[in-house]
Chains A and B, each alone.
Chain A
Amino acid sequence: MPEDISGPALAALDSLSGADTAWVMVSTALVLLMTLPGIGLFYGGMVRRFNALNTMASVMAIAALVSVLWFAIAYSLAFTPGGELGGFIGGLSRAGFAGLGYFGPDGQVAVSHLAPRLPESVFALFQLSFAVITCALVVGALVERMKFGALLGFAGLWLLLVYAPIAHWVWEPGGWLAQLGALDFAGGAVVHINAGAAALVCAYALGPRQGYGREPFLPFNLGLTMAGTGLLWVGWFGFNGGSALAADGRAGLAMVVTHIAAAAGALAWMLAEYAARRRATLLGLCSGVVAGLVAITPAAGFVGPRAALLIGVAAGFACYWGATGLKRLLRADDSLDVFGVHGVGGLVGALLTGALADPAISGQQGSLLTQLIACVAVLGYSLVMTTVVLFIVSRFAGLRVGADAERQGLDAALHNERLGG
């Protein structure tokens, strides 16, 4: 058994676990469903009618681009040891689609040191599905006004310069936040705080949409948003349950706490909305579900059901404020509230993980201070480097479509297509 390896290596086929491998393969498919079509529907339903197709096309194109770049280089930067700079970035030993080998006649297969009981191909694909959804989440802040080519340029650079290093810091055992003892089971910081911070920078850099704050921007179809929410909720079982990297009791508990937090988040958001506006809305319920799911993400393998209930309730209230009161304070047209839901929810979840982690579950003790350091580091790095990435892209392409194209709608102006109807 290659349990003590410190980097990717070849292992005997019979050292793998069939059950673990099967579960992570299923989880990978579930997490990809969260993006394709989950995020596409979730976001596509919230934008105006004449931008829905562009929003879906953005999610689809980002998924394709990130997939190629992941195996070309990003996976290696995120999940291999990095030599002298190993605390901050991985090496290139898995760059260029290398190292995912399967050698049947020799009875050997490549495995990652992070998951030695799975083929490395399965582990790398599972992690790819996280990179895809993180990049796709940022789309919610820049819809209805960004050039399509600029968006793809941004997504590619952001994957390499922001996502891959942060994933390395937190998840690769040599990463400096992992060494510090930061707990992030499935990506509260790597995925959600990171995407939320990037979204905020994008919203400021692009500026508000024409008519923002003066005209009502009617959502295209909240039924699509509800369908997307359902896919996210179910897919999150793979996101959190799969992050155990094993078909075991911890994965089962992760699924239970995920479900409880989602439900608690929905109820808390609904209560907050009812208290403020005397209405319980479908979009509010969907948003509360996502808020609870986001907040339980870093905690899923470290907390029990009661703590999950508390995390879900806290996230429902906090993210309602994030998408309303905080949004007004920040004065950014973060169009679909990526920071308000994912940024705030990620921060709530990461900090509460430090307070509520139960050593009886994982053997790991949470620390509020360590979690705070991790949150500040990820938030700060993402804010700064996203600004740098946007600056680079703007030098080559310009970020924003022309006023006429924005008025006309990006479906017709950029794609010469319409969604139907």
Chain B
Amino acid sequence: MSGSSELFAIAAHLHVQLRRKTGRVIDTEWLATNAEYARAIVRFTRERAAAEGHADLLPWADKLEAAIVAMGAAPRKTLLDVAAEALRAAPGPAPSGEQPHKYVGGLR
């Protein structure tokens, strides 16, 4: 199976599984051609698998992640992403009013 058809096969399978298990509808064509979108779907799939106990989704997230390398596309950051990362890196109060290091390295 060529890299492209394998990607489409993974995308199609994930499309069905994610819609059935999580209600999320993904764009299979965009997934098979855009590495940034594919990475986001890998993250989403793993998060939902952990949060909702869908262990069978994890192998597909792994397959997609492996296939992204074959796409050869370096992740491109939008201006919005760059600005968001800069903001996250900047020191500032935690949004909930909790101490900034709450629950890091200890509960108490």
State how many angstroms separate the Cβ of B42 from the closest Cβ of chain A: 12
**Closest 7 interchain pairs by CB?**
A418-B53, A216-B103, A412-B53, A213-B105, A323-B108, A409-B50, A408-B50
Q: A283 touching B49 by the CB < 8 A rule? A: no
Query: Which residue of A217, A287, A327, A412 is within 8 Å of B49 (Cβ)?
Result: A412
B74 within 8 A of A: no
Interface string of A119-160 (1 = CB under 8 A from B): 000000000000000000000000000000000000000000
Interface residues of B (CB under 8 A from A): 46, 49-55, 58, 99, 101-108
Given A408-B46, A412-B49, does the pair A337, B55 have CB atoms closer than 8 Å?
no
B-chain residues with CB within 8 Å of residue A214 when the two chains form the complex: 104
B-chain residues with CB within 8 Å of residue A323 when the two chains form the complex: 106-108
Q: B107 touching A337 by the CB < 8 A rule? A: yes
Cα separation A50 to B52 with both chains bound (whole Å): 9
Write the chain A residue with the least CB distance to B51: A50
Q: A413 touching B46 by the CB < 8 A rule? A: no
Q: B104 touching A408 by the CB < 8 A rule? A: no
Q: B103 touching A50 by the CB < 8 A rule? A: no
B-chain residues with CB within 8 Å of residue A213 when the two chains form the complex: 104-105
Q: B106 touching A324 by the CB < 8 A rule? A: yes
Cα separation A279 to B104 with both chains bound (whole Å): 17
Q: B55 touching A416 by the CB < 8 A rule? A: yes
Q: A323-B108, A324-B108, A416-B53 are in contact. List 11 more A-B contacts (CB 8 A).
A: A212-B105, A213-B105, A284-B108, A324-B106, A327-B106, A337-B108, A407-B46, A408-B49, A408-B55, A412-B49, A417-B53
Write the chain B residue with the least CB distance to A287: B108
Write the chain A residue with the least CB distance to B58: A408
Q: B105 touching A418 by the CB < 8 A rule? A: no
Given A277-B99, A407-B46, does the pair A412, B54 have CB atoms closer than 8 Å?
yes
B-chain residues with CB within 8 Å of residue A407 when the two chains form the complex: 46, 50
